[in-house]
Structure 1
């Protein structure tokens, strides 16, 4: 029932220093986004990974008792600029190829978004084709693609993610669930319904979970905070997570270093009793 953390919440550090800092903060696993968290190796473009480099990074985490539960890949998967999309796909596929060398079972991402939030049938078709390509690579490598729905993205709701999974029925595509990403100012008052629907549609496909908190703000918008400092129904979230996917890895988001211990204890405390 351990709670991990986004590695880049500690900043961008040399790969030999980062795992020790994570371990000293009480975490035993991380979501690692290479170009966000590791500062002494250039991961700005695909092409520089090798089994040796991935193994060296993974070994440093292992020495400190920290697993890499998720490799994070923050790229736009249906970019309307085809050249950029191909670069993004190449980056994601490179991570899939070397995930096992890092000791990671999955590479995860949101689908991406356009500024106007208006999407076309072509956008959906391109995203589907991208996911099919990534799924094929994941199947060859024996790892998973983790897909996360997020409001404002092409795949922004639980029902949209369920549809994408139905259209790309690969056993190597799973869900990174985050109810906080599904909540808006408009639906927050019925958050229980949103959370329950997400698990009803996606619960059997969950392979990792994110944890942050949300709360209404005075201006009518929805704010984001570290878990325990908002108004999200964590009792319900943890109850359903335990029911559908006991012991699935949880990765904490949106936490400053001085908040991490308290937030971790809050999540684990609820998860341990529901």
Structure 2
């Protein structure tokens, strides 16, 4: 499978314009976050999806040779505000119900983060209960939930994600791996260890992977850039991804349109030889 891209990197467009634009960019699959990428349908709250609408969007991408590999769901899954959390869970469940009409095998998300990145045992419990609820829906529809660990989020490390997978033992939960999200200014010098640990703990559960890059600035902070524009060890990342999950979906992040071809070629070149 070739390298795909976040659809909303092309902007928020009518879906009949978005699909050919993605194809013209040289991508054969996308991660589609409906309310970020599509401008001509109101996805601001759950309820507007139907088999017909999902099919229409999916068919438009298919017409241009672009698969929807992942439906992205950017919501806070353990929000301390019960009303907001309920709406977020319902939004995720709606995507799980309609994923197959888009042709998407998974709905993916990070867990969410609190201001100040302070978490409690109750936050973990609420996240677990939400995930159990989502799993029940995913199992009904034969769709994967893709969980992604991201520094600063409730599930911010590979060990924390491994723990949640153990506590909610469903084969309908998979991992969206993004080593760039596991790196921090503090552990960047040990990035090989961080990447290797992620594959050791999560490698057999990977269902998709993200591609961006990181590098340390002079002030010691960590910058995020497109793949190939930083100093992350992509040789190691692609080698392990090929080893654990050959032909896994890779979705490119961060790149602006003028950077996409260079970033994609960088990933493809490394992936083709490691």
Hey, what's the Cα distance between the residues in 1 that align with 2:191 and 2:240?
14
State how 1:58-69 maps to structure 2 within 5 Å.
58-69=58-69
Q: TM-score, normalised by structure 1?
A: 1.00
Q: Does the residue aligned with 2:12 lie in a helix, a strand or coil? A: coil
Secondary structure of 2:242's counterpart equals helix
Counting only pairs closer than 5 Å after superposition, residues 89-128 of structure 1 correspond to structure 2 as 89-128=89-128
How far apart are residue 258 of structure 1 and its match?
Answer: 0.4
> Following the alignment from structure 2 to structure 1, what is the Cα–Cα distance between the partners of residues 237 and 75?
27
Separation in 1, partners of 2:256, 2:85: 32
1:25-64 correspondence runs (5 A): 25-64=25-64
Indicate the residue corresponding to 2:200 in structure 1: 200
Q: Residue by residue, what CA displacement relative to the aligned partner does 1:213-272 show, whole Å, maximum 9, x if unpaired?
A: 000001110000000000000000000000000000000000000000010010010001
What are the superposed Cα offsets for residues 39-70 of structure 1, whole Å, 9 maximum, x if unpaired?
01000000010000000000000000000000
CA drift of 1:116 comes to 1.1
Q: Residue 233 of structure 2 corresponds to which residue in structure 1?
A: 233
**How do residues 101-180 of structure 1 correspond to structure 2 at under 5 angstroms?**
101-180=101-180
Q: What SS class does the counterpart of residue 49 from structure 1 fall into?
A: coil
Report 1:70-85 matches (<5 A): 70-85=70-85
1:93-147 Cα deviation digits (max 9, x unpaired): 0000000000000000000000111100000000000000111100100010000
- Specify every segment of 5 or more residues in structure 1 that has no aligned partner in the other structure, as ranges: none
- TM-score normalised by length of structure 2: 1.00
SS at match of 1:138: helix
Tell me the secondary structure at the aligned position of residue 17 of structure 1.
helix
1:184-220 deviations in Å (ceiling 9; x for gaps): 0000001000000000000000000000000000111
CA–CA distance in 2 between the matches of 1:268 and 1:133? 38
Q: What do you get for the CA RMSD once the two structures are aligned?
A: 0.4
Consecutive unaligned residues in structure 2, runs of 5 or more: none
SS at match of 1:224: strand
* 1:11 aligned onto 2:11: yes
Q: How many residues align?
A: 274
